Structure 1
Amino acid sequence: MPQLVRLYIRSVALGFALAVLFTALLIGLDVAHLRHLVLSSPLGWLAALMLVIFNGILFSGVQFAFVVMRMAESRPPAGGRRQPVAFLRPAEAAVRVPAAPRD
């Protein structure tokens, strides 16, 4: 199996494990009365399952993106010539410009 596919499967597994933990904490701590909604409804298990699945999709995508971005090669900054930047000073006095009146 290619290394990238293995990395993706590992990221998805970790993302879904985090989603199960997150959903368990949401229900266990009764955030926004989710425990009451899940336990009192006959289809509460479906709501909990949907929370796990949707959070799993989100967390696994974030986990995979995080791992892929950490794989980038970090190059030292290029040297280049460091030349001073010329700063413009504001005009010290107003300049009068003669203008002829219009008719």
Structure 2
Amino acid sequence: MTACILFAIGVQSQAADFMDSKCRDFRKSFSIDKRTIERPEPPFCATMFGQFDELSFNRCRSEMEDYRNKVAKFTDCLFDENERATEEFNTAVQNFNRRVGR
């Protein structure tokens, strides 16, 4: 019974982390693994061959600005994830040391 309660609390905590995280926009909503983060993809127009006409240039420029904003948010996400991983590691070390009696 206790294990079921602890498991439910853990799931609720992970769900809250998923919703509150800076990485929310970079996780698949329907994925089982809520920790997987996907890097933003560059717009297709940036990798195409050939010259731009004015309309294509303006459209692609807008897509590139959007991409730049997504990359900046992704960088913030990675920083946040790094902090979370470090905290999780430190907690695990403390728990380990307690079990060993140190």
Q: TM-score of the superposition, structure 1-length normalised?
A: 0.35
Please say which structure displays the higher CA radius of gyration: 1
Structure with the largest fraction of helix: 2
Q: TM-score of the superposition, structure 2-length normalised?
A: 0.35
